[in-house]
Amino acid sequence: MTVVLPQPTLSRYAHVVRSGPKAVGFNSLTLEAFDLAPTDVSLLESVGRGEIVSPELLEPLIETGFLRDDVEADFQAIQRIADSRRERVKTRAGHFGTLRLSITEKCNMSCTYCFQQKMYPEDEQPVLSREQLTETLNWFIEQGRGYPLSIQYFGGEPLLEWDNIVYAHEMLSLAVEAGTIPSFRETVTTNGTLLSGQRARWLVDSGFDLTFSFDGPPEVNDINRLMKSGRGSFGRAMRGLRSWVEEGGRPSILMTATAGNVKDLPEYVRWFVEEAEVHPKDVGVNSPQPTSEGWETGGTELADAIWAVWKYCRSKGIFFHGPGTYIPTHLQTLIPQTDGCVDTGASGAEPSWPVYVSAEGKKSLCVVYHRDERVMADPQRSALEEGSKWHYAAEPLKECDSCIASQICGGPCALEKILWQGRLNSDRCDFMRQMTKLVLLDE
Ligand SMILES: C[S@@+](CC[C@H](N)C(=O)[O-])C[C@H]1O[C@@H](n2cnc3c(N)ncnc32)[C@H](O)[C@@H]1O
Ligand code: SF4
Ligand code: SF4
């Protein structure tokens, strides 16, 4: 009697990513990737078309989970993320390790795209008072007792509040002397225009890292990065960066992608590295600001630009950070993304969440959005309760199940769920899928 074996079917988690002759098979459920020979690709295409193929030929592909000879359970990818998140809550200490502190919402510039400056009317931007600063730091140090902490001075323009930066540094130093925390790191994200040589000297001596916002060469930078007078800021900002480097600071720039500049971002980075008067050792690209309509830049073109910049930086030995640069860690460790945009779970570091304190002294669980009751931390509840509620509450949508990026993207984060009311955002999805494919082809 002849036994008729069932014809295998393609798993819904099987993806073939191709570029020229290179083909990579990727199991989006297990995060395993492997090179596919042209014969494997043809076999998979035949199965996809429903053609009968000899079972012996298909055996190895069944072992990879690419082909199934049984009925595949629904929503395994969503389940895996939900299970991983539940597991993480059990195992993590749960403190806020990074404080993004908006020391003032005021700014001496008026960049055309600035989300921060759009949050408050021009003459009603708050400044953090000395009392609020002391209270915030006492709270941050106490809840992070025993852990290394990181503080990012942000704004508005943080260097407008110089005395408070010096004061905060002293408070953190005292916390180390008292043995409350083992160490701390301080960074300033600045437009650079208010940095004198003397200030640069103090910041270098005090161990600060500075990041200077620039979008490219002067004629490009000055399209959007404008002084209040409407004049371009490049010259003043470059003077600040020069002072920083002359005093021994590490040159680091941070770029903002817009619909107008995204395609040329790689060329602007090349210009900075090869032609500008100060050559950066670190290059960053800001994550797009989510709005109720989606992202301000298209997802696929942003991924292509980020990838080109990333590869160029790698070739020059420059450290690059930007959206999606965490993807290789997940592909190497096979650990799904559990904490949304701020995941540290796959990196092996002691996991912690970031928290944002606005210049009104309000704590937000999201570092990019704070003027909304729905993102605020409840001061009566612990960091663990608040962080878990925010970072683990959002489960991916059913549409995410067979997505190539499901275990890497994890679906819209808690803020995006609020802003997009349960819908997927095509810019974000296009970005995550394209970035995942580009990284896979590079592995
Ligand atoms: C809000 S600023 C505050 C710090 C400082 N004033 C500066 O310009 O670096 C921090 C960063 O956010 C970026 N940024 C402003 N608006 C943005 C937007 N709509 N989308 C993405 N990044 C934006 C800025 O270019 C800058 O690199
Ligand atoms: S300098 Fe920074 S805070 Fe000021 S307007 Fe520009 S991006 Fe916004
Ligand atoms: S890219 Fe889009 S579809 Fe894929 S997991 Fe993320 S949110 Fe879901």
Q: What is the pLDDT of residues 170-222, one digit of tens each?
A: 999 999 999 999 999 999 999 999 999 999 999 999 999 999 999 999 999 99
What's the rounded mean pLDDT across residues 281-286? 96
pLDDT at 359: 95
Residue closest via CA to ligand 1's atom 6 equals 157
Helix (H) or strand (E) holding 387, with range, is helix 383-393
Confidence of residue 112 (pLDDT cuts 50, 70, 90): very high
Q: Name the range with the highest mean pLDDT among 64-78, 155-169, 344-358.
A: 155-169
Q: Which residue has the higher pLDDT, 398 or 341?
A: 398
Q: How far apart are CA 362 and CA 379, in angstroms?
A: 9
* More reliable by pLDDT, 337 or 304: 304
Report the C-alpha gap between 364 and 354 in whole angstroms.
9
* Nearest ligand 2 atom, CA 256: 7
Residue 295's pLDDT band, with cuts at 50, 70 and 90, is: confident
Highest mean pLDDT among 52-66, 253-267, 418-432: 253-267
Does residue 347 carry a pLDDT above 80?
no
Testing ligand 2's pocket by substitution, the residue of 117, 231, 236 carrying the most ligand atoms inside 8 A of its CB is: 117
Minimal CA–CA distance to 238: which of 177, 191, 180, 206? 191
Indicate the average pLDDT of the chain.
90
- Listed range (13-27, 80-94, 174-188, 333-347) with the worst mean pLDDT: 333-347
How big is the CA angle at 163 (ends 160 and 166), to the nearest 5 degrees? 115
Q: Which residue has the higher pLDDT, 124 or 390?
A: 124
> Is residue 41 lining ligand 3, measured as CB closer than 6 Å?
no
Among 178-192, 263-277, 294-308, 342-356, name the one with the lowest average pLDDT: 342-356
Query: Considering only 27-41, 163-177, 241-255, which range has the smallest mean pLDDT?
Result: 27-41
**pLDDT average, residue stretch 62-83:** 87
Cα 189 to averaged position of ligand 2 atoms, centre (Å): 10
How many C-beta atoms surround the C-beta of residue 37 within 10 A? 9
Under the banding of pLDDT at 50, 70 and 90, the label for residue 6 is low
Give residue 413's pLDDT.
84
If one compares 245 and 97, the residue with the highest pLDDT of the two is: 245
Indicate which atom in ligand 1 lies nearest the CA of residue 257: 21
Q: Could you say which ligand is closest to the alpha carbon of residue 100? A: 1
Whether residue 77 has its Cβ less than 6 Å from ligand 3: no
**pLDDT recorded at residue 349:** 62
* Among the listed residues 222, 235, 210, 220, the one whose alpha carbon sits nearest the alpha carbon of residue 270: 220
Number of the ligand closest to the Cα of 111: 2
pLDDT at 441 > cutoff 60: yes
Residue 100 CA to ligand 1 center (angstroms) comes to 13
Looking at ligand 3, which residue's alpha carbon is closest to its atom 3?
Answer: 400
**Domain boundaries along the sequence of the chain:** 9-72
How far, in Å, is the centroid of ligand 2 from the Cα of 56? 62
Residue nearest to atom 1 of ligand 3 (CA): 429
- 8 Å CB contact between 393 and 322: no
Asked if the model's pLDDT at residue 299 lies above 90, the reply is yes
Backbone angles phi, psi at 177, to 5 degrees: -60, -35
Cβ–Cβ < 8 Å for 309, 265 = yes
What pairs with residue 355 in β-bridges? 99
Cα-to-centroid distance, 114 and ligand 1 (Å)? 6
Whether residue 58 is predicted with pLDDT greater than 90 in this model: the reply is: no
pLDDT greater than 70 at residue 341:
no
Q: Which residue has better confidence, 169 or 346?
A: 169
Confidence band, pLDDT 50/70/90 cuts, at residue 2 = very low
Distance 328 CA to ligand 2 centre (A): 31
What the block records as the tokens of 345 is: 């779970």
- pLDDT at position 111 over 70: yes
**What is the arithmetic mean of pLDDT over 9-19?**
92
For ligand 2, the distance from its centroid to the CA atom of residue 113, given in whole angstroms, is: 9
| DSSP track, 286-303 | PPPPPBTTB-SS-HHHHH
- With bands split at pLDDT 50, 70 and 90, how would you rate the model's confidence at 389? confident
Residues contacting ligand 2 via CB (< 6 Å): 107, 109-111, 114, 116-117, 155-157, 191
Q: If you take atom 3 of ligand 1, which residue's CA is the nearest one?
A: 155
Mean pLDDT over 390-395 rounds to 76
CA of 114 to the centre of ligand 2 (A): 6
CA dihedral 304, 391, 165, 254 (to 10 degrees): 0
- The pLDDT assigned to 164 comes to 98
> What tokens were used for 210?
């500075």
Residue 312 has pLDDT above 90, yes or no: yes
- 68 or 167, higher pLDDT: 167
pLDDT of residue 52 exceeding 70:
yes
Q: In percent, how much of the chain has pLDDT > 90?
A: 64
- CA-closest residue to ligand 3 atom 5: 406
Q: How far is CA 54 from the centre of its chain?
A: 46
Confidence of residue 91 (pLDDT cuts 50, 70, 90): confident
